[in-house]
C-alpha cells in the first residue's frame, strides 16, 4: 500500500530521500538498495551518531538520558543533511519526535515512511542481534507492549513527516526499494 498524504505542500525541497519508521521497519536495508541503484551516497543516522559519540545508543541513553541522546540525534541529522544534500538517509526511529527534525527532513527532500505492524516489527527485531544489543528499551513494558505503545505515539509524527507511506508487510526489501523509485518525484 502506498499513500501520499501531502506530496506537494512542502515545496521547495532538496534532492535527498529520507526514510522514516520504527526500528526494524527496513530503513537501512531498503536505503542501501535505493542508494546503490541510484549511485547516491547512503547514510544511516544512527550509525553516524554512534561513530561520532564512540558509544552505542544504548550507552548514551543509560549514561546521559534520552534528552541528551535526542540533542545528539538532532545535531547529527542536521550535519548529515547539510553535508550530503542528495543522499539516501535512514533516520533513527525516533527522529520524528522533534519538530525541528521533521522540518529538516521536509527541506532535505522526499520522505518515505516504511510502515509495519507491531507483530512484524517484533519478529524482525528479535532476529536482529545487533539491534537488541545496541538499542535501549523505550518503556518498562515488555517488547510487544513497548512496540505497540511507542508506535502508537509516533504514528501521527511519521504521517506528518511523510510524503508517502509504504506498507512493508510481506514485501522484500527489493520490492520496497523499487516502489520508492517509482513514486519518488526526483
- 155: CATH: 3.40.50.300
**Mean pLDDT throughout 105-119?**
93
For 89, list phi and psi in degrees, rounded to 5.
-120, 125
**What is the Cα gyration radius of the chain?**
15
- DSSP letter at 89? E
Lowest mean pLDDT among 38-42, 51-55, 112-116, 136-140: 136-140
pLDDT for residue 151 is more than 60: yes
**Total domains, the chain:** 1
As to burial, measured by CB atoms within 10 angstroms (0-12 exposed, 13-18 middle, 19+ buried), residue 67 is: exposed
- DSSP letter at 163? S
114-128 pLDDT per residue, tens = 999 877 877 766 765
The strands making up 2-3's β-sheet, listed across from edge to edge, are 2-3, 164-167, 109-115, 16-20, 88-90, 42-44
| Residue 140: predicted pLDDT | 47
**Mean pLDDT throughout 32-55?**
97
Q: In the chain, pLDDT over 70 holds for what percent of residues?
A: 83
Parent domain of 174: 2-183
For the record, the C-alpha cell of 44 comes out as 544511516
Amino acid at each position: 500500500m502506498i499513500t501520499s498524504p501531502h506530496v506537494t505542500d512542502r515545496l521547495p525541497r532538496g534532492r535527498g530521500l529520507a526514510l522514516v519508521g520504527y526500528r526494524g521497519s527496513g530503513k537501512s536495508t531498503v536505503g542501501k538498495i535505493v542508494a546503490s541503484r541510484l549511485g547516491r551516497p547512503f547514510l544511516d543516522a544512527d550509525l553516524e551518531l554512534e561513530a561520532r559519540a564512540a558509544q552505542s545508543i544504548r550507552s548514551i541513553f543509560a549514561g546521559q538520558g534520552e534528552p541528551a541522546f535526542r540533542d545528539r540525534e538532532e545535531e547529527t541529522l542536521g550535519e548529515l543533511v547539510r553535508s550530503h544534500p542528495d543522499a539516501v538517509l535512514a533516520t533513527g526511529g525516533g527522529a520524528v519526535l522533534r519538530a525541528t527534525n521533521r522540518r529538516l527532513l521536509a527541506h532535505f527532500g522526499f520522505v518515505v515512511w516504511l510502515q509495519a505492524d507491531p507483530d512484524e516489527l517484533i519478529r524482525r527485531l528479535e532476529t536482529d542481534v545487533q539491534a537488541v544489543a545496541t538499542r535501549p528499551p523505550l518503556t518498562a513494558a515488555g517488547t510487544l507492549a513497548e512496540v505497540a505503545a511507542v508506535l502508537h505515539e509516533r504514528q501521527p509524527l511519521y504521517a506528518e513527516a511523510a510524503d508517502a507511506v509504504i506498507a512493508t508487510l510481506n514485501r522484500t526489501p527489493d520490492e520496497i526499494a523499487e516502489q520508492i523509485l517509482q513514486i519518488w518525484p526526483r
